[in-house]
Amino acid sequence: MTQLKEILSYNEAFVKNEEYKPYETSKFPNKELAIVTCMDTRLIELLPKALNIHNGDAKMIKNAGGMIETPYDSAMKSLLVAIYELKAREVLIIGHHKCGMIGLKGENMIEHMKEQGLNETSLNHAKSENDHLETWLNGFGSVEERVKKSVETVKNHPLMPRDIPVHGLVICPETGKLDLVVEDNK
Ligand SMILES: [Zn+2]
């Protein structure tokens, strides 16, 4: 059983009733902001509300942990697109307390994969494609340290314009309270 049918039927009514009208905007962020944050379910609505971000205000880049891991990963590419193609002029990297990536060990995730039916052949196939599979799946220890690292990776990126401030923050997934980790006073 998937939820697809239900989603499609809801969607048909949504469009027919023009419920999209309050969300009409452009692809350019009104507040010229790009935000990198976590895919956590608790942040879907809470984070924009807590930051006074509305539809159209910011480019929102999400992954597990809200990380820029390497200078040429998908999140960094999205950030460059947001800046050079979509006119974002300020970057917020926002981790959060109680993140699922805190303490996550790749070796444990591989055990969970096996428990959920992944066979050895598929696992070995993945290992042959990624020499560092276990570490690639790792999370992090401290969210503040992870945010600082992401900020540094962005700031030191050779393709980043030097005049764009890159701030680091941590949000509480229950109250929406923001703690400043790195303020970039450009
Ligand atoms: Zn998270």
The reply to whether 49 and 86 lie within a common domain is yes
Q: Per the domain annotation, does 154 fall within a domain? A: yes
Distance from Cα 126 to the centre of ligand 1, integer Å: 25
pLDDT, one tens digit per residue, over 159-172 is 999 999 999 999 99
Residue 174 placed within a domain: yes
Q: How many A from CA of 44 to the centre of ligand 1?
A: 11
How many angstroms does the Cα of residue 65 sit away from the middle of ligand 1?
4
1 is a domain residue = no
Residue 21 maps to a domain:
no
Q: What does the block give as tokens for 151? A: 């900020």
Gap between the Cα atoms of 162 and 171, Å rounded: 26
CA of 105 to the centre of ligand 1 (A): 14
**Ligand 1 centroid to 135 CA: how many Å?**
18
- pLDDT, averaged per 10 consecutive residues of the chain (186 residues), comes to 95 98 96 98 98 98 98 98 98 98 97 98 98 96 98 98 97 98 94
On whether residue 45 sits in a domain, the answer given is yes
150-171: b or e for each residue (b if 16 or more CB lie within 10 Å)? bbebbbebeebeeebebbbbbb
What is the pLDDT at residue 1? 75
Q: Which two tokens stand for residue 67?
A: 């990380």
Q: How far is the CA of 9 from the centre of ligand 1 (A)?
A: 31
Q: What is the pLDDT of residue 85?
A: 98
Same domain as 168, residue 129: no
The tens digit of pLDDT for each residue in 13-52 reads 999 999 999 999 999 999 999 999 999 999 999 999 999 9
C-alpha–C-alpha distance, residues 86 and 88, integer Å:
6
Report d(CA 132, CA 19) in Å as an integer: 46
DSSP 8-state symbol, 102: B
Rounded CA gap, 70 and 63, in Å?
Answer: 13
Rounded to the nearest whole angstrom, what is the distance from the C-alpha of residue 39 to the centroid of ligand 1?
6
Count of domains for the chain:
2
Domain match, 84 and 122 both: no
Q: Does residue 12 sit within a domain?
A: no
In a domain, 163, yes or no: yes
- pLDDT of 58: 98
Note down the domain range covering 113. Answer: 105-138
Q: Does residue 83 sit in the same domain as residue 146?
A: yes
What does the pLDDT read at residue 54?
97
For residue 186, what pLDDT is reported?
81
Are 93 and 111 members of one domain?
no
- Residue 178's pLDDT is 98
**Is position 175 within any domain?**
yes
CB atoms under 10 Å from CB of 93, counted, come to 29
